[in-house]
Amino acid sequence: MPANATVLSVVVPMYNEADNVGEFYARVKIVLEQIGEPWEIVCVNDGSGDATLAQLVALHHADARVKVINFSRNFGKEIALTAGIDHACGQAVIPIDADLQDPPELIAELVAKWREGYDIVNATRRSRQGESWLKRATARVFYSVLENMADIPIPRNTGDFRLLARPAVDALKQLPERTRFMKGLFAWVGFKQAIVLYDRHPRHAGLTKWNYWRLWNFAIGGIVSFSTVPLKVWSYFGFGIATLAFLYALFLVSRTLLYGIELPGYASLMVAVLFMGGIQLITLGVLGEYLGRIYDETKRRPLYIVRDYYGIETDAD
């Protein structure tokens, strides 16, 4: 490895984080300087509408180790994280959010575990400060459901904050899917993994970009991306309904033979029709989630479009 080769790459997706950029850079810089290895910070501006880009460009001009990828529009956090990892040069890559809920000071512990020989070091939340009881409860439910439905074990209470050694990064870059659930992809590649526990802090400034509707869609995407259980569930459920219907039909035939023909009740008929109609719509919705992802994959569009690079060499340079 050349003497000046980058060892640590911190990857930061940013969307309207102007209030956090300065404090984030100051704290991360202190930690990286204390570690003493050559480093870079790869910031991805995900179509911010505030002064995030201007502040990042100013930081780049003041410190060339701060590198900026500016998207042509907002593509979403998972895609921004992918772009940062794609362009990171370090032997170890550390994704982290800019809101400082994940303390940059923990990077030193992640690096220490990496030096022990681990390829992926997961930062697992011991507590979640500054979050409502509802959000904590829904997070527990999500991780529990994902743990039981996913085809691979995905660590609980573990976000994007972690350390990825270069072999794991190179493996991630080979995964081409368009609908990306990064927490699942980090687990899917395998490798030797370790865990570092920490207490998650409240946001330093600004408001979260994740409302409950976006979190719901994110959870659905994660489950569909890493499990076919929803498809199997409705297959079993349909088989169960068909069995009950067959038994009920036998009951009706037997009763008619024994007691004669009766006029069926309108209420029970409507309940049965509406119930089966609802089941069919839910089943179609589940199928639609999977078909939509197949459709996205077949279009083969690029994951993201970059408008500007600052400090990053590209093939066009």
292 compared with 64, residue with greater pLDDT: 64
pLDDT at residue 123, as a whole number: 84
Phi, psi angle pair for 70, to nearest 5°: -110, 110
pTM, two decimals, is 0.67
Q: Does 118 have pLDDT greater than 80?
A: yes
The mean pLDDT of 276-304, rounded to a whole number, is 71
Q: Does 129 have pLDDT greater than 70?
A: no
pLDDT at residue 20, as a whole number: 84
The mean pLDDT of 207-230, rounded to a whole number, is 58
Positions of E strands within the chain? 8-14, 39-45, 66-71, 92-95, 120-128, 158-165, 193-200, 306-310
